Amino acid sequence: MLAPLFFLLLTARSGATGKEFNQKPNFVLIIADDLGIGDVGCYGNDTIRTPNVDRLASGGVKLTQHIAAAPLCTPSRTAFMTGRYAIRSGMVSTGRVQVLLFLGGSGGLPPTETTFAKRLQQQGYTTGLVGKWHLGVNCKHRGDHCHHPNQHGFSYFYGLPFTLFNDCLPGEGSDVLWLLVLLFLLCILATAVWYVPFNFLSTWNCIIMRNQEVIEQPMTLETVFNSFLLLFRNVDRPFLLVFSLAHVHTPMFKTPQFAGKSRHGAYGDNVEEMDWMIGKITETVDSLGIANNTLMYFTSDHGGHLEDGNLKTGQKGGWNGIYKGGKAMGGWEGGIRVPGIFRWPGRLTAGKVVDEPTSLMDLYPTLKYLGRLGGLAVKQSDGYNLMPLLEGKVARSEHDFMFHYCGTYLNAVRWHPPGDSVFKVHFFTPNFFPPGAGGCYDIKICLCHGEYVTYHNPPLLYDLFHDPAESHPLTPDTEPRYAEILEQTAKAMERHKSTLTNKRASADAHTEILWRPWLQPCCGTFPFCGCKENSTDTYEKKLEQTASVY
């Protein structure tokens, strides 16, 4: 078996069993990439094997209405890290490009934003992030690292400062080259500026960093995850570990031990490999005797990418179960309803299921509460402490309203009035193609503006409690509270908009996406970037390199 993708080694002190709740707890947070809620056994899949995720759920609390703040990576991860809708920090955009497209752009999580990692670090926690970041690196010059994980509270970072693209695997095509054609039609100069970075995407974007050092450029997809070895020599202090998995984003990994073993091709193989990694992480926490003082959490950044696949390669995107839509599809449930599992033996009741609306943004206030993070007041927060709900002390979520964004556009509003019903109002929806399909198969990913959407007046209205698949819009004839629901959601939307203070122009946000050579991370002398991590480094040497961070 290959070395574990994310192997956690905690050299615990003798007698540090973590059984007393008056200690500050440890946090192990696992976030998958592009995983559909329907891909997991405990959420209804009976053909892909996920025994380790299922075991987390049976040993902890499973959330059935766990909602990402956006249906795409960059804004969703921004909201997860900050506990705030991404629009508050300007991490959204209009037009076609709604995520960070180049490592050499100036966009990223602003230094003025405070992540939960930063707060925990300030309170003495050891903090580490392994895997995907996708929230920017540099601002004004190569090496300022203003958006880097190290500047946002992670003492240790090892992984992908960007994300996986098909460009990272030769022969898989390009996820972004199609933009070149559109830009060419705008002007020859723009084409010239963009051609260089697109032509060398595997060099510019597909890299691995250890803290602020580029250690592999371009990375080798086949071997990269053998090197993701996180070694923490800790334990006089509580710790936060965020495992931000690259699975199951395309391109698909082809690890020999998993290739061809599932019933769903390469995608199923990757889900089962992801599950194995989660098993190794859980196994390590348990074997060290720290489970009773460690909150473990598993989720996905958003729903599966339905349109990713073809007749030759088969389906390469996830399955979102009964829920309509998927990645990049605004407020449709399939793009934002994700797995949500918490495990804490002795503190949380095993096998408990919570059907109330919850959010990835709830992690911030939950960790703030458990880590006893007093003092600095958070800016406008959009999440709530989940512990009363998880422990069964309350039966109802504090989320009366949730707001669903597609880029900068407020796409839908969810309202949970007293009772079982959860209403959702859609102001516009993406235009699926071909008509009647469940996705945008002509352009491969749905967009949020112009001719790509249809506005609804009156808005589309669904009751997710009775119609979770959003198949039967309500009307004044079928819903007695129809007028009240539209009125209440409209008022909530206005109250929400009044709290938005970020005035950064969308034009500025677009400019920050553009590639700038002087911001491009590089090992070697730019533009002659290239290096390979020494895969023969001994275990002891890697332990020494990591321990030196502390």
Dump pLDDT digits (tens) for 477-528.
999 999 999 999 999 999 999 999 865 544 444 456 678 888 889 988 888 8
Catalytic residue list contains 522:
no
Helix (H) or strand (E) holding 543: helix 539-547
Report the pLDDT value the prediction gives residue 202, as an integer from 0 to 100. Answer: 62
pTM value?
A: 0.90
Catalytic residue among 66, 73, 168, 247: 73
Helix (H, G, I), strand (E, B) or coil at 244: strand
- Half-sphere exposure of 469 toward its Cβ, with a 13 Å CA cutoff? 6
Distance between start and end Cα atoms, the chain: 31
How far apart, in whole angstroms, are the C-alpha atoms of residue 47 and residue 23? Answer: 41
Report the pLDDT value the prediction gives residue 237, as an integer from 0 to 100. Answer: 82
Of the candidates 13, 26, 4, 294, the residue with the CA atom closest to the CA atom of residue 130: 4
Cβ atoms of 159 and 207 within 8 Å: the answer is no
CATH number at residue 394: 3.40.720.10
pLDDT over 70 at 209, yes or no: yes
Of the candidates 272, 255, 320, 327, the residue with the CA atom closest to the CA atom of residue 98: 327
* Segments in 91-244 forming alpha helices (H): 116-122, 178-186, 188-199, 201-204, 221-224
DSSP state, 433? B
304 confidence band (pLDDT: 50, 70, 90): very high
Q: Which residues pair with 337 in a beta bridge?
A: 67
Q: Is residue 217 part of a domain?
A: yes
192 confidence band (pLDDT: 50, 70, 90): very low
Catalytic residue list contains 73:
yes
Report the pLDDT value the prediction gives residue 214, as an integer from 0 to 100. Answer: 92
Using a pLDDT cut of 90, give the percent of the chain over it: 62
Q: Which amino acid makes up residue 279?
A: G
Report the pLDDT value the prediction gives residue 378, as an integer from 0 to 100. Answer: 58
Q: Is residue 494 part of a domain?
A: no
Q: Is residue 125 part of a domain?
A: yes
127 confidence band (pLDDT: 50, 70, 90): very high
Q: What is the mean pLDDT of residues 400-412?
A: 96
Catalytic residue among 134, 152, 302, 404: 134
Q: What is the mean pLDDT of residues 184-205?
A: 53
How far apart, in whole angstroms, are the C-alpha atoms of residue 519 and residue 498? Answer: 35
Report the pLDDT value the prediction gives residue 23, as an integer from 0 to 100. Answer: 82
- Half-sphere exposure of 273 toward its Cβ, with a 13 Å CA cutoff? 30
Q: What is the mean pLDDT of residues 538-543?
A: 48
Report how many domains make up the chain. Answer: 1
Q: Is residue 488 part of a domain?
A: no
Dump pLDDT digits (tens) for 414-442.
999 999 999 999 999 999 999 989 999 99
How far apart, in whole angstroms, are the C-alpha atoms of residue 296 and residue 85? Answer: 23
pLDDT over 70 at 548, yes or no: no
Q: Is residue 444 part of a domain?
A: no
CB atoms within 10 A of CB 34: 29
Using a pLDDT cut of 70, give the percent of the chain over it: 80
Q: Which amino acid makes up residue 106?
A: S
Poorest-pLDDT segment among 88-97, 194-203, 269-278, 318-327: 194-203
Q: What is the mean pLDDT of the chain?
A: 85
Q: Is residue 492 part of a domain?
A: no
Report the pLDDT value the prediction gives residue 508, as an integer from 0 to 100. Answer: 47
Report the pLDDT value the prediction gives residue 545, as an integer from 0 to 100. Answer: 52
Cβ atoms of 295 and 28 within 8 Å: the answer is yes
> Which residue range is the domain that position 106 belongs to?
26-173+185-399+504-532
Beta strands in 58-163 (DSSP E): 61-67, 126-132, 156-160
Q: Establish whether the linkage from the previous residue to 238 is cis, with ω within 30° of 0.
A: no
Poorest-pLDDT segment among 55-69, 230-244, 381-395, 461-475: 230-244
- Burial of residue 101 (CB within 10 Å: 0-12, 13-18, 19+) is buried
Q: Which amino acid makes up residue 444?
A: K
Could you tell me whether strands 7-10 and 229-232 are parallel, antiparallel, or unpaired per DSSP bridges? parallel
Cβ atoms of 192 and 274 within 8 Å: the answer is no
Q: Is residue 475 part of a domain?
A: no
Report the pLDDT value the prediction gives residue 441, as an integer from 0 to 100. Answer: 93
187 confidence band (pLDDT: 50, 70, 90): very low
How far apart, in whole angstroms, are the C-alpha atoms of residue 390 and residue 392? Answer: 6
Report the pLDDT value the prediction gives residue 539, as an integer from 0 to 100. Answer: 44
Q: Is residue 310 part of a domain?
A: yes
